[in-house]
């Protein structure tokens, strides 16, 4: 397994484990939040993106791991980015996926899973993957 793939796998595992210590922050505008995160990643402010994601999830200790995984985009130009999935499940669960074409890397997908609480929306999971042959990476979107 190549180093970048291992880093991405580690980041996904780290960010999918439930938070134990910190309280996740509530997000009022999910569309704006996702758009800003993807824009921050594409504008080469990956440490800031990692901090924002992990702090929102209540997992600030995972910021370094995610920032390292996002280094795969270092020196790469984001040629095109657009939201491609926005699924809302009865106002309680929501999944948003952005697609990007990244020069010298290929096709990248950024997935945000949100869950509603009595206090508002929380970011429950963030993941990113690449895919060349299919419309979406295997098991990446909820069906």
> How many Å apart are CA 75 and CA 103, to the nearest integer?
9
Tell me what pLDDT residue 2 has: 53
Over 60: is that where the pLDDT of 23 sits? yes
Domains in the chain, CATH or no CATH each: 3-130 (3.10.450.50)
Instruction: Outline where DSSP puts E strands in 13-140.
Output: 78-89, 93-102, 106-117, 120-130
57-109 pLDDT tens trace:
999 999 999 999 999 998 899 999 999 999 999 999 999 999 999 999 999 99
Over 60: is that where the pLDDT of 9 sits? no
For residue 84, give the 3-state DSSP assignment.
Answer: strand
Spatial strand order of the sheet with 78-89 comes to 78-89, 93-102, 106-117, 120-130
Which of 67, 26, 33 lies closest to 50, judged by CA?
67
114-133 pLDDT tens trace:
999 999 999 999 999 988 77
Tell me what pLDDT residue 133 has: 72
The runs of H, that is alpha helices, within 71-134 are none
């Amino acid at each position: 397994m190549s180093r970048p793939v291992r880093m991405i796998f580690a980041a996904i595992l780290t960010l999918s484990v439930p938070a134990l210590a910190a309280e996740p922050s509530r997000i009022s505008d999910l569309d704006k939040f996702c758009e800003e995160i993807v824009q921050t990643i594409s504008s080469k402010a990956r440490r800031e993106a990692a901090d924002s994601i992990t702090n929102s999830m209540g997992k600030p200790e995972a910021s370094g791991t995610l920032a390292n995984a996002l280094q795969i985009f270092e020196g790469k130009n984001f040629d095109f980015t657009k939201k491609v999935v926005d699924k809302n499940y009865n106002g309680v669960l929501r999944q948003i996926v952005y697609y990007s074409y990244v020069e010298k890397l290929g096709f990248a997908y950024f997935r945000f899973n949100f869950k509603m609480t009595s206090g508002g929306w929380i970011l429950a999971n963030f993941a990113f993957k690449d895919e060349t042959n299919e419309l979406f990476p295997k098991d990446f979107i909820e069906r």
